[in-house]
Chain A
Amino acid sequence: MRFVDEFRDAEKARVLSARIAALCEPGRHYKFMEVCGGHTHTIYKHGLEDYLPETVSLVHGPGCPVCVIPMGRLDDAIAIAEQPDVIMTTFGDMMRVPGGRGSFYDANAAGADIRMVYSPLDSLKIARANPDKRVVFMAIGFETTAPSTAMTVLRAAAEKLDNFSIFCNHVTIIPAIKAILDSPDLRLDGFIGPGHVSTVIGCRPYEFIAREHGKPLVCAGFEPLDILQSVFMLMTQLAQRRCEVENQYARVVPWHGNPKALRVIGQTMALRPYFEWRGLGFIAQSALQVRDEYAAHDAERIFSVPGVRVADPKACQCGEVLKGVLKPWECKVFGTACTPETPIGTCMVSSEGACAAYYNFGRFTRDRVKEATRS
């Protein structure tokens, strides 16, 4: 596949790996956070850490939209789905995520009609085909996904599809990064920036990270070479005592983002005063809700939403894992009470959560894996 295969080349990876090793200052440990769950997935899926020296570690950040949805919002969604004549639609990723009273799968087993869609537009199709039903799209995601939801709402409004609404759970990335930066127990040397969010917001919103917090950020693509090259660029900045926002993913990310995408978000959605993030608690101005003008398509106004709050289980240390303070396996319940089949914490839920990625792909000491795979 073009623009994919050439960025999975093992030969180039070996060169980058040697380059990164050459940049390591003796005795120094480097810690970079990849903000985005997609990066976490890439890192584990391709076994990228095999190319990094032991003194360079990657910390997995909070950028997995499925992981950060609090259990209460999921219970609210199920409460909507359980109302008469409702078809709820959602991305496949959400189906297994457990709320306080079970997952969408469980809700379906108990009689709800929750369907998986590939695109929010597919929900419109379902709404057109079922005029006597109320179709609610469970909207999740960062700025990458919000424009698609916004376009869908605009389309529904234009078509006067009154039986279509969204349950808006869109979140924004910058407040989450700020929460990480403000965490006192964190020591990071730089950030691998979320490439696909940046296609929408561009690279400028990250400038404060370099300017005010003194941490370099490289906006990175999603193939393994992209991430490796981003680590190299971060190491180069550190070696040259620079601290900037750089764009490794220029083939996809324009420095100024996608103005039309930003405009449609602004047209249909407004910032919420605060929103609860699983594992991170309430963060001010970190999520989006449907604007008054589109109230007819806002599930929170159409349905009585219980507004459930469910406490993160006490033993769960997701907050620390999300902030990079703990490694996944350092959590008390990792792999025993909390596994991908029965996830308790946010990070074990989606295949992009740090714990799930580690459990599924990396659950073994590197030495033994290397030994076993030596040909």
Chain B
Amino acid sequence: MCLGIPGEIVEIMADREDFAMVSVAGVKRAVNIGLLTEDEIQLKAGDWILIHVGFALSRIDEAEAAHSIKMLEGMGQAYTDELIALAQSDLASDR
């Protein structure tokens, strides 16, 4: 329903209240960060945010993202192991 794209904060704009310059694959736009100003941790350059219609809706939690990917990778590893086990058991039953 709502297009949201991750972007990296390049700088917090000193001359515009509540704005940060954000880069999406090198494409830059000033994004309003007014919806994230009450977060416990202050936004800074290098942080990633989710952009929707020119506003930052949410700060991207890099640890959570890494966790997701790791879980998917783990699943792949477990799956490969199972396949190997299966292949071996097939071989075993063939004998």
Contact = CB atoms under 8 A, between A and B. Distances in A.
Given A122-B54, A260-B38, A19 B79 contact: yes
Interface in B61-94: 61-62, 64-65, 67-69, 72-73, 75-76, 79
A33 to B, nearest CB: 13
Contacts of B38: 259-260
Contact of B2 (A16, A118, A144, A151): A144
Nearest to B83: A18
B1 A151 contact: no
Contact of B65 (A9, A142, A251): A251
B68 A251 contact: yes
Contacts of B68: 7, 229, 248, 250-251
Contacts of A229: 68, 72
A144 B57 contact: yes
Nearest to A143: B2
Interface stretch (A107-115, A192-200, A274-282, A304-312): A192-200
A3 B48 contact: yes
Contact of B4 (A151, A252, A254): A252
A36 B2 contact: yes
B4 A16 contact: no
A148 B37 contact: no
Given A19-B75, A252-B60, A38 B55 contact: no
Nearest to B38: A260
A59 to B, nearest CB: 15
Contacts of B60: 3, 251-252
Contacts of A148: 32, 52-55
A80 interface: no
A58 to B, nearest CB: 15
A6 interface: yes
Interface string B28-60: 000010111110000000001010111101101
Nearest to A141: B2
B35 A264 contact: yes
B25 interface: yes
Contact of A3 (B2, B55, B65): B65
Contacts of A4: 5-6
Nearest to B50: A252
Contacts of A9: 72
B14 interface: no
Contact of A199 (B24, B37, B57): B57
A37 interface: yes
A190 B36 CA distance: 32
Interface of A: 1-4, 6-7, 9, 11-12, 15-16, 18-19, 36-39, 63-65, 91, 118-122, 141-142, 144-145, 147-148, 151, 194-197, 199-200, 222, 225, 229, 248, 250-254, 258-261, 264, 352
13 contacts: A1-B6, A1-B25, A3-B6, A3-B60, A37-B1, A38-B4, A120-B54, A144-B4, A147-B35, A194-B1, A196-B50, A251-B68, A261-B57
